[in-house]
Amino acid sequence: MKVILASPRGFCAGVNMAIETLELALKLYGAPVYVYHEIVHNKHVVERFRQLGAVFVEDLQQVPAKSHLLYSAHGVAPGVRELAIERQLKTIDATCPLVTKVHLEAIRYALAGYRIVLIGHHGHDEVIGTMGEAPEAIVLVESTEDVDRLNFDQTAPGIDPVAPGKLAYLTQTTLSVDDANRIIARLKERFPSIVGPPKEDICYATQNRQEAVRELSRGADVVLVLGSQNSSNSQRLAELARETGVSAYLIDGMADIDPAWFDVSDTVLVTAGASAPESVVEECVDFFVARFGATVEARSLRSEDVYFPLPRELRSAGKAPVATGL
């Protein structure tokens, strides 16, 4: 067996920032530190922080007044921020700057009188936060079929009809690049005057990991993607690998591996979503070496050197980031 380790893989700058933020908050303020939604969509990361004293909540009513509350990397809607102020919560904003960029674009378009088509997945934390910035102006689409059903001549309850030439689109940051481009192309076919952001919303890390899987899957028999089932970018990696014609599995870690998936002569591509820790990758590689006598080869398509600073709430504390230990 041969194992190809894809690069880039694993943690992106936004995930690194969010994890460092929560670690430092626990160090500075002690447990519990409350987190609105999972800090990132990964079972291993979330469980580790639970053991350290983080409390993940879906409703701010679960957070005692005046407690420390951290916003996850996926961002939140303005209504959440307003409720946090009412409850006198001490908030720390670990929203990925690339998600914040999409929020600001939604606000800008809405204030300019545009109707906004958001390309994304219904119920995803990031989509909920973005739509919350201008709920009266945003409609969500998940497919080209959804685009075909759009009818801006009809007024939905509480939504003004769109003026000619006042239509814009935005995208969730963790989409499949290919899927997003197909939907954008269909939007432009149906609505030639539609405008988009000056720079693509899909994040650099999502694109880089998809590019690596697209290229390296061609030389593999099986693709293994490390990431949790609720991780959008990890799901997209597995889907993209299957589109190249190989078997692909999305797993949380070594315990999920079924040896029956593999032959001893297979070439296995191993990658990880942007919220999956490198430790789970290493455990899986060790499994292949021990079980199948695999050789390991690292292949890198490009390097990443993006860094996001800690939130200002923690920078003002004058503390340096701590190592993630993941």
Sheet strands side by side (includes 33-36): 54-57, 33-36, 68-71, 90-93
DSSP string for residues in 23-73: HHHHHHH-S-EEEES-SSS-HHHHHHHHHHTEEEES-GGGSPTT-EEEE-T
- The residue written with tokens 């690596």 in the block is 212
Within its chain, how far is the Cα of 308 from the centroid? Answer: 15
Residues 92, 25: contact at Cβ < 8 Å?
A: yes
If you compute the radius of gyration of the chain from its CA atoms, what whole number of angstroms results? 21
- Of the candidates 20, 23, 105, 126, the residue annotated as catalytic is 126
Element at 237 (helix H, strand E): helix 232-243
Catalytic annotation on 126?
yes
Among residues 217, 273, 220, the alpha carbon closest in space to that of 241 is found at: 217
Q: Nearest-5° angle of CA 172, CA 177, CA 179?
A: 85
Residue 236's contacts (CB-CB under 8 Å, 6 or more residues apart) are: 174, 175, 176, 179, 206, 210
Query: Half-sphere exposure of residue 189, counting CA atoms within 13 Å on the CB side?
Result: 10
Within its chain, how far is the Cα of 89 from the centroid? Answer: 26
Quote the tokens at residue 298: 């690292």
Nearest-angstrom CA–CA distance, 126 and 222 = 31
Q: Does residue 32 have a cis peptide bond before it, meaning omega lies within 30 degrees of 0?
A: yes
* Backbone φ and ψ of 10, nearest 5°: 70, -155
> Mind telling me the catalytic residues?
126
